[in-house]
Amino acid sequence: MVLKLEHVTKRFGQFTAVNDLSLAIPEKEMFGFLGANGAGKTTTFRMILGLLDHTEGRITWDDQPIDYSTSHLVGYLPEERGLYPKLRVREQIIYLARLRGMQKSEALIELKAWLERFKIPDYENKKVEELSKGNQQKIQFIAAVVHKPKLLILDEPFSGLDPVNVEMLKEAVLALKENGATIVFSSHRMEHVEEMCEHLCILHKGSPVVHGSLKDIKREFGKKNLVIHADFSLDELKNFPGVVKSKITMEGIQLQIEGEYIAEKILKEIVNKGFIKRFALEEPSLNDIFIEKVGNSYE
């Protein structure tokens, strides 16, 4: 059950929304899509779901194209949230679940379990328009997963939620993965992807700029972060050969360096100058990689 995208390209007239994207997402894996606004994430998802036809390339899941015959195996949480405002939670979820090939009674049991899990069991008979935005999002999430999909596509699942609810939803996503679902999700928030995904892809203006497993990406990136806190001035380190970027902080300095060997040199340089409270060599964060690859245009 591998989800494969092979040389997928999508053009709208002259505009290329997605350019030559190739991915393979193995079963039971969590895959993260990163990209600035307009990078092509939503278009990619829509192509995977068959809502949009791709201009070139091939998209398959388990060597089959994804179409309406497999829709009961696919769950989708669109970026733009939306439910019927006038319908009750229960009617809504049952309707959407039945459209995904679920029996009414089965859907009801699942719905109750999910409401219980999200600690909102008394919302079953409320109209969606009466709920707060965060709770609407939970209902939306339930709508995407109630039919126990094997492939789950989540477009910005955590945006607009408070930290408590983000945690709750994260746990739910991880539990779904444990149960064997393949999950593709996009996010603006690097830490979510870093925390949850084994593999990821950074899209920039429709083209994949980084693609692979998190570890490989970090290793290939090569650069490391160095944090030094000392009781003497570290300002001169800014111009030390091999330092790519630097940032003065309250307690010292943060450096991005070309590799581990630079840290060694820096340590030799400063070790006799005074008391060093902290000298830590850190893996680059996904945020650093993203900024490096996509540029500062990203907010």
Partner 1 sequence: MNNFWIILFHTYLSKLKTKSFIITTILTVVIVLGLTNINRIIDLFDKNGGKDTIAVIDESGQLYEPFKQQVNSINKDIVLTQYKGNEKDAEDKVEKGDYSGVVSIQFNDENLPVATFKAMSIADSSLFTDLQTGLQQVKTMLAASQLNLTPAQLQKLYEPVKFEKVALEKNAKTEEELNQARGLVYVLLFIIYFSVIMYANMIAMEVATEKSSRVMEILISSVSPIKQMFAKILGIGLLSLTQLAAFLLVGYYSFIKNMAAFKDGFFGVGNIPVATIFYAVIFFILGYFLYATLAAFLGSLVSRIEDVQQMITPMTLLVVAGFMIAMFGLGKPDAPFITATSYIPFFTPMIMFLRVGMLNIPAWEAFLGIAVLITTIVILAIFGARVYRGGVLMYGKSNSYKDIKKALQLTKNK
261 is an interface residue for partner 1 by CB under 8 A: no
Binding window for partner 1 (CB under 8 A); candidates: 76-84, 177-185, 271-279, 282-290: 76-84
In angstroms, give the least distance from the CB of 154 to partner 1. 13
In angstroms, give the least distance from the CB of 87 to partner 1. 7
Using CB under 8 A, which of 1, 49, 267, 281 touches partner 1?
Answer: 49
In angstroms, give the least distance from the CB of 52 to partner 1. 7
Binding window for partner 1 (CB under 8 A); candidates: 95-103, 118-126, 198-206, 290-298: 95-103
- With respect to partner 1, which residue has the nearer C-beta, 12 or 261? 12
115 is an interface residue for partner 1 by CB under 8 A: no
12 is an interface residue for partner 1 by CB under 8 A: yes
Using CB under 8 A, which of 52, 166, 174, 243 touches partner 1?
Answer: 52
In angstroms, give the least distance from the CB of 43 to partner 1. 10
The CA distance from 11 to 13, in Å, is 6
Which residues sit opposite 107 in a β-bridge? none
Q: Quick one: which of 28, 75, 27, 35 has its CA closest to 193?
A: 35
In angstroms, give the least distance from the CB of 20 to partner 1. 16
The CA distance from 175 to 184, in Å, is 14
Binding window for partner 1 (CB under 8 A); candidates: 23-31, 66-74, 170-178, 263-271: 66-74
Binding window for partner 1 (CB under 8 A); candidates: 48-56, 119-127, 272-280, 281-289: 48-56
Binding window for partner 1 (CB under 8 A); candidates: 29-37, 93-101, 181-189, 257-265: 93-101
The CA distance from 145 to 203, in Å, is 26
Site residues for partner 1, 141-200, by CB under 8 A, read 143-144
Q: Quick one: which of 217, 235, 239, 236 has its CA closest to 288?
A: 217
Binding window for partner 1 (CB under 8 A); candidates: 88-96, 206-214, 254-262, 272-280: 88-96
108 is an interface residue for partner 1 by CB under 8 A: no
Q: Quick one: which of 215, 219, 158 has its CA closest to 183?
A: 158
Q: What track of x and - describes contact with partner 1 for positions 212 through 251 (by CB under 8 A)?
A: ----------------------------------------
96 is an interface residue for partner 1 by CB under 8 A: yes
Token pair recorded at residue 154:
């989540």
24 is an interface residue for partner 1 by CB under 8 A: no
**CB contact at 8 A, 173 and 196:** yes
Contacts to partner 1 by CB under 8 A = 12-13, 46, 49-53, 55, 68, 71, 74, 76, 78, 80-85, 87, 91, 95-96, 98-100, 143-144
